[in-house]
Each structure stands twice: as C-alpha cells, then as structure tokens.
Amino acid sequence: MSIVEESPSAPAEQSEQSADRARRRARIEAGLVTAGSSVSAVLIAFFLSALLLLVTGKSPGVVSSTMWEVATTTRFQYEMIERAVPFIIAGVAFAVAAKMNLFNIGVEGQYLFGMFWAAVIGANVELPALLHVPFILMVAMLAGAFWAGIAGYLKVRLGVSEIISTIMLNAIALQITDWLFNDFFRFDDASGTLDVRTKPIPETGWMPDFVDGKLNSYLVIALIVCVVYYFLVFKSRFGFRLRASGLNATAASTSGISSGRMVMIAMLISGAIAGLAGLQYLLGEAHSYGPARPSGYGFAGLSVALLGRNNPIGIILAGLLWGFLEASAGPLQLEDIPRSIVNVIQGITLFSVVIVNSVISRWYTKRTTEAAAARLSMEAAA
Amino acid sequence: MSATAAVELIGIEKRFPGVIANHDVNIAVRPQTIHAIIGENGAGKSTLMKTLYGMHRPEQGQVIVNGVEQHFRSPSDAIDVGIGMVHQHFMLADNFTVLENIILGAEPVNGVALNLKKAHSELEKIATSAGIEIDLDAFVSDLGVGQRQRVEILKVLYRGAKVLILDEPTAVLVPQEVDELFVNLRQLVADGATVIFISHKLDEVLAVSDDITVIRRGTTVASVKPGDVTQGELGELMVGDALPTAEPRTTQVGEAIRLEIESVTVNSPDAAVSRPVVSEASMVVRSGEILGVAGVEGNGQFELCQAILGLADYEGTIRLDGEDVGSMTTRHRLDTGLCYVPFDRHEEGLMLDAPLWENLLLTRDEEPEFNNGAFVNQGNVRDATRDTIEKFGVQTPDETVPAFALSGGNQQKLLVGRELDSNPSVMIAAHPTRGVDIGAQATIWSHLRDERDAGLAVLLITADLEELLALSDRIIVMFDGLIHAELDPATATPKILGTYMTGGRPEQAA
C-alpha cells in the first residue's frame, strides 16, 4: 500500500486484517493437513512395527537405538542420502504422471531401459568430460521416454489402460535388456575375468563423489529434477493444463485442452525422468551395466510419491525416509534383527498413508466447506 | 383439522456443515390430499423430504405418521410405514422391462424362483385403481419421460406406499405430460393415497394442490389454500420479494452473423445407432441476438453444442464470424471468440478441488495478461478472479477457496462470470441458471442481457420455459435431432412450446 493513499478507516482495516488472518490460517491448515497425513502414517507404521517386534520376541528398543545411531552417524547419513537419490528421481517420475491421473507403474521398466542404453551408448562414444555426462543423461531420458511413450501411445490410440500396459512393459523391459545384454553387449574383457558386464564408460562420463567413496555428486541431478518438477508442474501454464486434466478431464477437454496430447506428453516426461533414476549407479559407481544392477527403484518411487503426496518437498523427505530405512537394514542385521523389518515398516507406512489420506481428505472437505461458510458469515456481520 | 394428519412434521431442524438447511419446519398433511411444498431452489425442500423419507436424521423435531411418532434410520423404515418417494432423477434399468424394474428389490418368489405372473396380476390391479396406463412388458428404454415417471410411481405403490413424495416431478415433463400426471395424482388421492408434491412452479401448485406450504430459507413461512392466494402473492411468499420480470429489450439485434450452422449432422457415438443425433440442423445467430433452443433434454442439444465446440465429429459447416471452423481445434475455436457455459457444471465446467482462481484460468489460460512467459501470472489471475467474484456477486470468502466449498448457485455465477469476462463474441449458454436461486438468476440474466446489448451472440439452451421466453429474440425447437420449429417469443406460450417439444404441431394438438 502506498503512503500517499489515505489510510482506510479503522474498522475496515481491522476486518481486512481478520480476513487476512483467516486466509493465512486456511492456507497453513491446508499445508498441515497435507503433511500431517503422511507424518501420522509414518508414526502409525513405526508404532505397529514396534508391536510386531514385541510379538516376535525382538526388542523394539534395540531397533530404535540402532536406527538412532544410523540417523546420527555421518557415514550412515551419506548412505541414506545416496540411497535416497534414485528413490526421489523415481518418485518425481511417478508424480508427474500421477498429477494427471495416470498411474505409471512402469517407472521400473523405464529406468532399466534408460540405464541400459545409457551404459551401452555412453561407453561407445568419445566426448570431452563436459559433454559426455550430459550426453549420457540425454540418452537415458530418451530411452525412458520412449519406453513410457509406448504406454502413452497405446492409451491415446487404443484406450489401453496405462496400468496394464506399463506392468507388461516392465516385464518386457526386463527381458529385452537381459537378452540384448547377453547376446550383443557383453563386454569380453581380454583379462578373462568372470566379471560380466557391458563395456565400461570412459572416465569422461563419470560423476565424481563429493566425499570419497560416499555421497556422489549425482544428488545434484535429483535436486534439479525436483526443482524442474516444481516449476514445470505447479507454476507453468503447461503444468496447469496437466493438473487440470488430472482434476477433471472432461472439463479440461471442454476448455480446449487436448487430453490425448496431454496423456502423451505426461507419459514422455514421466518416462524421461524415470530414465534418470538408475544413473547414479551407472555414472557414480559401476560405470557399466551388468546383472548386478539395482532393481526396485520404480516401486520405491511409487511409494515415495504416494507418501510425499506428489509434492516436491514431500518427495524429497519421503525419499530420505526410504533411504534411511534402507541404510538401517545393514546395521539392524548386525543386531540380529531381520532385514525384512525394514520392508515391513515401508509396507505399513504405505498402507497407513493410503488409509489416512482418504480419511483426512474427507474430513478436510467438510472442514473447508464449513470454514468458508463461517468466514462468509463473519464478513457479512462485519 | 378434521382427522389425524397423515404426516406431521413438528419443529424439524437439520444442519449441514456451515449451514442450517432446515429449521423450525412445521407441516401437517391431511390424509387423501395433494399437499404442495413450494419454495425456491435451495430453500430446503429436498432436505426436508429426505428427512421425511429417512435418508438422514434431523437434529431436532418430530416426524409423526398417522399419529405415531417415527424415528427413521433409513428409507426402508419409512417404506415400512407406507411412505414412498418418487425421485426427480429416475432410477430405472433401461434394459429391463417395466415389470422387472418395478419388482426389483421386492421380488415375489416361489421358493427361490421369481413369480412374475403373480407380480404381473398384482401390478395390473394397482395400475388400474391408480388410473395409470402402462405396458408392463415394455422395455424401459422404449419409454418416454412421462411414462418412466409412471413406472417410478408404480414402483412406490407396489411397495405399499400410502404417502407419496414427489420431488419436483414436473421438472422433466412438458406441459401436456404435466396435465396427465395431475390426472394420475388426483386418481391416486381418490383411491386413498396422500401426495406430497414438491415444486417451485407456482401455476402447477395452484392447479393441483389442496393445501400449500411455503418454505423460504429453510423454514416454513406460510400455509395457504390455493383458492385464497393469487399466483403473485404466492410468489412473493416464496421469494420474499417480487419475482424477476423480463423487461422488454430496447436495443436492436445486429446485422453481423456471428454463428452460422449449416446443415450440421452429428452421428451417435454408439455405432449401433444408425440414426443421427442431430440431423441437418441449420441456424444463424447474429450479433446482439439471443437464439433460444427449446427442447426436452436429450433431443440433440448437447451433441449440437459438442459439434460447435469441436468436441464431436460432424458433417456440414459451422462458421464463427464467417470463418469455417471445421479444421479448428476446440482451443482454437475458443480463442476465436467462442465461449461455453456447460450443461453440467461439475462434469464439464469446474475443477472442484482446485481454488477458484485456477477455475477461472481453466478456459482462459491463453489470455496474455494471465501469462508470464511460460509461467502462469498468478497475481493477475487472482485479481481477475476477485473482479469476477465482485461483479457477479459470488458468495465466497476469497479466490483461494476450493470450488467445492461454494454452493451450486455461486459456482454457477463464477462459471458464467468466467465466460462472460473472457470477452467472447459468441456464447453457448446451456442452462445458465440451472439450480441457482432467484437472486442469482436475476444477476445472471441481467449480465447476459448487458452483454447481448453490447453485441454478444448467444445460443441459449434451456429447459426453463420462463427463461427461454424472457431472454430469447427468436426460439427454435429441437425434437429428435431435428429443428422442429421456429417461433417468435412474443407469441409463443408454454403450451405451444410444449406441443412442439413433444414433436407435435399445435393444429394437431387442438
């Protein structure tokens, strides 16, 4: 408000202030509700897991002290972050599609496909360091996008549910990469070792560690992915159309937003991001593709997106939690606690988040409607 | 009161989050009468009837049926004491016969086998004594709206209802069908039933009922006899002040043709249906003109609009401002100056979970001031939303509230405002005031008139004949996908319109 303007009369200012307060409160409340459902789901999961441990005769105390140690030790913190990186990227990949009501179960296959071609093509080009890494990233994104694009095309052209087609494509990706690897791209090392893998990527295509042996610089890529996701989906016009199609597909197409085109683009972007999920392993650790490659990032990403409620910050936090749980598995085993307790916690968390979300969202709808009516009558009285 | 009331409601109060839907409602329905409950849209009539039918429980008050107080926990409790409800939206299975639909859920059986014969003879008896003529073996898909309603009534009678609640039964009927319904209702009453008739149409209520209870803002404000009040007085009781009237327009229809539709045919998306849903429709709308489209719903109006919007394939030519839009996408057509107030605001118009400002942006995200390069200029969108909220009197705390938190009328005002503020040259307005209260209707009408005077061409599709006659410069009637007639609103009456809408011609009807 400029100084030259006459100051409004006191009561008007007061009511404006209280309206402002009400608006702020509504916004904060919405934020709390969103975060709250995930946080309470995690708490429920920990609580139930503790019960489970008690019932099976293990000590929840040992588990929590071990986990506390993991959480507070630098070495494990690095590990947690490193493990979180692919989960976060896969989570964003899933979330992009979820924002338009597409259930891209195929992140798993897309990142495998992306990682495979990145390894194969990346190893067979010679480029200066500054270009080699971006080139490999690009290859992975294109390959992932291509694989997701098949599901997109099937949905748009033939109305095939993306859930079905991506599940199938996961299986196909697994078989195709295995076959291609075994029959065409196995690297025959002259040394005759038993180490079975593709031709290694030259050093120009590696990503360095921040701390030696720990914390690869690839985590910067994960952060960039989150930032791009935020601006692309939540701030841009394209993102608005994407979300509009997700919120009400009929209304969106009535408003001239071509749903087929949006499905295609959303799947391509989702797949491109998925393609990046496996590259920390490739560029920062193994530098080649082989049977030892990691698996399961796609499904972890699904969980992370669900728990993070498709929100970029939420995905980062959920990814870190997943990374933390994975990092705890080793130390827990040393304490004679089975590794599967980690999966149990993850499973219960997901289960709870789905239930808590639907309970809270029903409550929240009611609460918001009430609050709006209350504010309206308050303003009418003022 | 001579006898015990068939139904008595005393001091009913029903609250919903943030609103009191009913309070201090007192109604006594005499047995064997037609008792009308009249009130505006949103006055609380349906809420009250749901209370009486056991669909929800009141916070306070008594429901007394034949002198016995009842506490219904579900509709089946209400059915048990002889209360039946005929819903506004029919709940019938199309591919079942009339008989099958009626006995569904209350099937007579021999052991485990259906006893259709018994049901058939029983129903024939019921139908005859109620004076309802219907072929029990016909498929529901072959029936017209009026006949389907009779099926619903029979369904209720078959379950032993002595008190029938009819929720806005005439909303879907053309005038001739309304007359037939009224004959049926009188026969039912003569036969021993009691009818509670919900409506907001004054003339119908005066024509058919024995007693009238007026509901305004959730409470009963008056009980009158039809002979004691005029239509105007009843209307005043209902709205609390004078009815909106259609002022005659003072401006002229322009010369320029804004929308031209030339022998447009739309085929059914269902390949099994060979008959087109719109056949060879032709019309023009000039600048500053409102062309009203009358017709019973489902006679091709929706598909015609889909074709204009580019959402359905069509044969023929559609021109906007003289330009053939055949090869244009929906978005391109909207950018060319077309806008659309949809048939169903929840289905086609709004994102209920999104804030109001995002809803405003939905059809207008290409307007330069709403963009900042590739990004949405949230500040400008929100400013524009606040303007629309103020201009159209949308009741909302602010523009950040999700759309689901608004009442239907306010959602509609926002929707109409969004479209009118997009600076259109042609508007398709489908039921622009459906489900809104009279105040909001007046607001929307006056904005439509203002924009028309400023040169907007409007294709108005409405089921509300009053609205049609009040706004239209010309009227066409669609029946069975065809432009069946073109009328002058100055000489058209609801009666004449009704005849055309059912496919007849007034000469034949006379």
Q: Is residue A33 part of a domain?
A: no
What is residue A3's predicted lDDT score, i.e. its pLDDT?
Answer: 41
Does B351 lie at the interface with A, CB-CB under 8 angstroms?
A: yes
Instruction: State how far the Cα of B132 lies from the Cα of A57, in Å rounded to an integer.
Output: 73
Does A374 lie at the interface with B, CB-CB under 8 angstroms?
A: yes
Q: Is the model's pLDDT at B370 over the cut of 90? A: yes
Choose the closest CB to B401 out of A231, A251, A372: A372
Q: Per the CB < 8 Å rule, is B334 touching A251?
A: no
Choose the closest CB to B402 out of A241, A248, A368: A368
Nearest CA in chain A to B370: A237
Choose the closest CB to A253 out of B311, B371, B396: B311
Order the strands of the B194-199 sheet from edge to edge: B83-86, B163-167, B194-199, B34-38, B211-216, B219-224
Choose the closest CB to A251 out of B350, B374, B375: B350
Instruction: State how far the Cα of B362 lies from the Cα of B330, in Å rounded to an integer.
Output: 13
Choose the closest CB to B351 out of A27, A244, A256: A244
Tokens linked to A51? 């019960």
Q: Is residue A48 part of a domain?
A: no
What is residue B272's predicted lDDT score, i.e. its pLDDT?
Answer: 65
Domain containing residue A84 = 59-336
Size of interface A-B (CB pairs under 8 A): 106
Q: Per the CB < 8 Å rule, is B354 touching A252?
A: no
Does B17 lie at the interface with A, CB-CB under 8 angstroms?
A: yes
What is the pTM (predicted TM-score) of this model?
0.78
Does A182 lie at the interface with B, CB-CB under 8 angstroms?
A: no
| Beta bridge partner(s), residue B196 | B35, B165
Q: Is residue B249 part of a domain?
A: no
Residues B83 and B41 reside in one and the same domain? yes
What's B136's domain CATH number?
3.40.50.300
Tokens linked to B358? 């995002």
The single-letter code of the amino acid at B171 is A
Q: At what angle do helices A259-276 and A107-123 cross, to 10 degrees?
A: 60
Instruction: State how far the Cα of B349 lies from the Cα of B358, in Å rounded to an integer.
Output: 12
What is residue B363's predicted lDDT score, i.e. its pLDDT?
Answer: 93
Identify the domain boundary among B207, B239, B271.
B239
Nearest to B389 by CA among B376, B375, B406: B406
Instruction: State how far the Cα of A47 lies from the Cα of A61, in Å rounded to an integer.
Output: 12
Q: Is residue A381 part of a domain?
A: no
DSSP state of B462: -
Choose the closest CB to B400 out of A23, A369, A376: A23
Q: Which of 1-40 (A) contact B at CB < 8 A?
A: 19, 22-23, 26-27
Q: Per the CB < 8 Å rule, is A257 touching B401?
A: no
Total domains present in chain B: 2
pLDDT by 10s per residue, chain A, length 382: 344 444 444 555 666 676 677 777 777 877 787 788 888 888 988 898 889 888 888 888 888 899 999 999 888 999 999 999 999 999 999 999 999 999 999 999 999 999 999 999 999 998 998 899 999 999 999 999 999 999 999 999 999 999 999 999 999 999 999 999 988 888 876 566 666 888 889 989 898 888 877 889 999 999 999 999 999 999 999 999 999 999 999 999 999 998 899 999 999 999 999 999 999 999 998 899 988 889 999 999 999 999 999 999 999 999 999 999 999 998 998 988 888 888 888 898 888 888 888 888 888 888 887 777 777 777 666 6
Q: Which residue has the higher pLDDT, A246 or B216?
A: A246
Nearest to B140 by CA among B184, B102, B182, B174: B102
Residues B504 and B429 reside in one and the same domain? yes
The single-letter code of the amino acid at A145 is A
Q: Is residue A152 part of a domain?
A: yes
* DSSP output for A106-130: THHHHHHHHHHHHHHHHHT----HH
Q: Which residue has the higher pLDDT, B306 or B502?
A: B306
Nearest to A252 by CA among B347, B429, B410: B347
What is residue A7's predicted lDDT score, i.e. its pLDDT?
Answer: 45
Q: Per the CB < 8 Å rule, is B396 touching A372?
A: yes
Residues B91 and B202 reside in one and the same domain? yes
Location of structure tokens 């698996």: A295
Choose the closest CB to A251 out of B362, B402, B405: B362
Contacts of B403 in chain A (CB under 8 A): none
Testing the interface with A: which of B334, B365, B399 to mutate, by most A Cβ within 10 A?
A: B365
Q: Is the model's pLDDT at B232 over the cut of 80? A: no
Q: Is residue A342 part of a domain?
A: no
- A333: distance to nearest CA of chain B, Å? 45
- The residue-averaged pLDDT of B326-338 equals 92
Q: Per the CB < 8 Å rule, is A235 touching B375?
A: yes
Tokens linked to A297? 């990032």
Testing the interface with A: which of B217, B328, B375, B389 to mutate, by most A Cβ within 10 A?
A: B375
3-state helix, strand, coil in chain A (%, to 5): 75, 0, 20
Contacts of B352 in chain A (CB under 8 A): 247-248
Residues B235 and B262 reside in one and the same domain? no
Q: Per the CB < 8 Å rule, is A369 touching B404?
A: yes
* DSSP output for B371-435: EETTEE-HHHHHHHHHHHHHHTT---S-TTSBGGGS-HHHHHHHHHHHHHTT--SEEEEESTTTT
* DSSP output for A45-94: HHHHHHHHHHHTT--HHHHHHHHHHHHH-HHHHHHHHHHHHHHHHHHHHH
Residues B299 and B155 reside in one and the same domain? no
The single-letter code of the amino acid at B351 is M
Does B72 lie at the interface with A, CB-CB under 8 angstroms?
A: no
What is residue A1's predicted lDDT score, i.e. its pLDDT?
Answer: 37
Q: Is residue B428 part of a domain?
A: yes
Identify the domain boundary among B239, B268, B303.
B239
Q: Which of 204-233 (A) contact B at CB < 8 A?
A: 231
Does A358 lie at the interface with B, CB-CB under 8 angstroms?
A: no
What is residue A141's predicted lDDT score, i.e. its pLDDT?
Answer: 97
Location of structure tokens 């791209």: A185
Q: Is residue B359 part of a domain?
A: no
Total domains present in chain A: 1
Residues B262 and B235 reside in one and the same domain? no
Are A305 and A97 in contact by the 8 Å Cβ rule? The answer is no
Q: Is residue B386 part of a domain?
A: no
B300 three-class SS: coil
Q: How confident is the model over A63-119, as pLDDT tens digits?
A: 889 999 999 988 899 999 999 999 999 999 999 999 999 999 999 999 999 999 999
What's A212's domain CATH number?
1.10.3470
Q: Is residue B157 part of a domain?
A: yes
Torsion angle, CA of A338/A340/A342/A345, rounded to 10 degrees?
A: -120
Residues B213 and B313 reside in one and the same domain? no
Nearest to A94 by CA among A247, A281, A271, A259: A271
Q: How confident is the model over A155-204, as pLDDT tens digits?
A: 999 999 999 999 999 999 999 999 999 888 888 765 666 668 888 899 89
Residues A272, A277, A280: CA angle, nearest 5 degrees: 130
Q: Is residue A36 part of a domain?
A: no
Q: Is the model's pLDDT at B354 over the cut of 80? A: yes
Contacts of A369 in chain B (CB under 8 A): 17-18, 404-405
Nearest CA in chain B to A373: B18
What is residue A379's predicted lDDT score, i.e. its pLDDT?
Answer: 67
Nearest CA in chain A to B362: A255
Residues B146 and B218 reside in one and the same domain? yes
What is residue B410's predicted lDDT score, i.e. its pLDDT?
Answer: 86
Instruction: State how far Cα A50 lies from the chain centre.
Output: 27
Burial of A56 (0-12, 13-18, 19+ CB in 10 A): exposed
Q: For B505, how many CA atoms within 13 A lie in the half-sphere containing its CB?
A: 5
Q: Is residue B442 part of a domain?
A: yes
> Which of the residue ranges A248-252, B26-30, B461-465 would you say has the lowest mean pLDDT?
B461-465
Testing the interface with B: which of A16, A101, A228, A369 to mutate, by most B Cβ within 10 A?
A: A369
Q: Is residue B367 part of a domain?
A: no
Instruction: State how far the Cα of B432 lies from the Cα of B392, in Å rounded to an integer.
Output: 13
- A347: distance to nearest CA of chain B, Å? 29
> Which of the residue ranges A366-370, B265-269, B326-330, B352-356 would you say has the lowest mean pLDDT?
A366-370
- B262: distance to nearest CA of chain A, Å? 22
* DSSP output for B4-60: --SEEEEEEEEEETTEEEEEEEEEEE-TTSEEEEE--TTSSHHHHHHHHTTSS--SE
Helices (H) and strands (E) in chain A, counts: 14, 2
Residues A220, A223, A226: CA angle, nearest 5 degrees: 155
Identify the domain boundary among B194, B209, B239.
B239
Q: Which of 248-267 (A) contact B at CB < 8 A?
A: 248, 250-258
What is residue B422's predicted lDDT score, i.e. its pLDDT?
Answer: 92
Residues B232 and B316 reside in one and the same domain? no
Nearest to B441 by CA among B450, B431, B452: B431
Instruction: State how far the Cα of A49 lies from the Cα of A42, in Å rounded to an integer.
Output: 10
Choose the closest CB to B395 out of A365, A368, A376: A376
- The residue-averaged pLDDT of B411-428 equals 94
Kindly report the average pLDDT of chain B as a whole number: 87
Residues B292 and B193 reside in one and the same domain? no
Residues B161 and B274 reside in one and the same domain? no
The single-letter code of the amino acid at A191 is S
Choose the closest CB to A236 out of B329, B362, B375: B375
- pLDDT bin (cut points 50, 70, 90) of residue B386 is very high
Residues B74 and B195 reside in one and the same domain? yes
Q: Is the model's pLDDT at B246 over the cut of 70? A: no
What is residue A49's predicted lDDT score, i.e. its pLDDT?
Answer: 87
Domain containing residue B346 = 257-351+424-509
Q: Is residue A26 part of a domain?
A: no
Q: Is residue A44 part of a domain?
A: no
For B255, residues 6+ apart whose C-beta sits below 8 A from its C-beta are: B286, B287
